[in-house]
Structure 1
């Protein structure tokens, strides 16, 4: 899994949509924090096209900084850095991966290192079914 993720990041850095698509299931999904400019990317083509556009337009370059994985469950988590060279910005975050048994990426959930925003009650990744996946929802029970 670590090699696949590092190779996927190398593909992202080439700016080739097709190279990125090869690492995903056709219906793969990439979730982002609520309010991010990407929304939810659904399908390998959408994911590949998005990263190719980022490389072309803002000079994106990504690194994998840390990795933890569990081959038995097909789950992995990484810490990454996104250098946006053309606009002089750096973004850091984590991503949770779900792999299929044949080694393709089925899902990525991205979390950014960022401050909370005034007036926002729930900071979360957009489009992700927290209730359906069994995540705790009731703040009063905590």
Structure 2
């Protein structure tokens, strides 16, 4: 079964494009790209107890937060699946990253990248910008995913193939 996108109409497709552009900006650490997708009053909520689980408020603050995170852990986000409506969307994503080692003198972290799988709920302003992100995942120094789920068969991203059918 391939990833499905359920959309109400053209505005919903715009929401998915906004989400993938947001994640491309996060991956590149590109503040301007992220700002183009975020409402000035955006709030990003995180599931505790993850590192940095306090909410991040404001577009500028959130964009700079992800620029810093992406640089520290060499993160790449991929949208794997989406259910999209007019003013809301729910997605599954994978973050590929390099956890720090105990003896990380060169600043490059562990040799092997890990995959953290999660889901997020987005809300949008009438102009299509993201107003809220509610993030559900557990970040650990090893890959986290559903036991036995056929990620490859369903077109999801996998370690060594950091792209999906939905987000090349």
| TM-score interval (norm. to shorter) | 0.7 to 0.9
Q: Which runs of 5+ in 2 are unaligned?
A: 1-14, 99-108, 141-168
- Name the residue aligned to 2:76: 61
Q: TM-score, length-normalised on structure 2? A: 0.63
Whole-Å separation in 1 of the counterparts to 2:51 and 2:41: 21
Deviations 1:72-131 (A, max 9, x none): xx010000000113443321100000001110000000001579xxxxxxxxxxxxxxxx
Secondary structure, counterpart of 1:34 in structure 2: coil
- Name the residue aligned to 1:108: 133
Residue 3 (structure 1) aligned with residue 17 (structure 2): yes
- Name the residue aligned to 1:118: none
Secondary structure, counterpart of 2:69 in structure 1: helix
Report the count of equivalent residues: 113
Q: Which runs of 4+ in 1 moved over 6 A?
A: none
Secondary structure, counterpart of 2:126 in structure 1: coil
Question: Aligned-pair distance for 1:18?
Answer: 2.6
Residue 83 (structure 1) aligned with residue 96 (structure 2): yes
Whole-Å separation in 2 of the counterparts to 1:98 and 1:33: 17
Question: What pairs with 1:22-61 in structure 2 (closer than 5 Å)?
Answer: 22-38=36-52, 39-61=54-76
- Name the residue aligned to 2:157: none
Q: TM-score, length-normalised on structure 1? A: 0.73
Secondary structure, counterpart of 1:53 in structure 2: helix
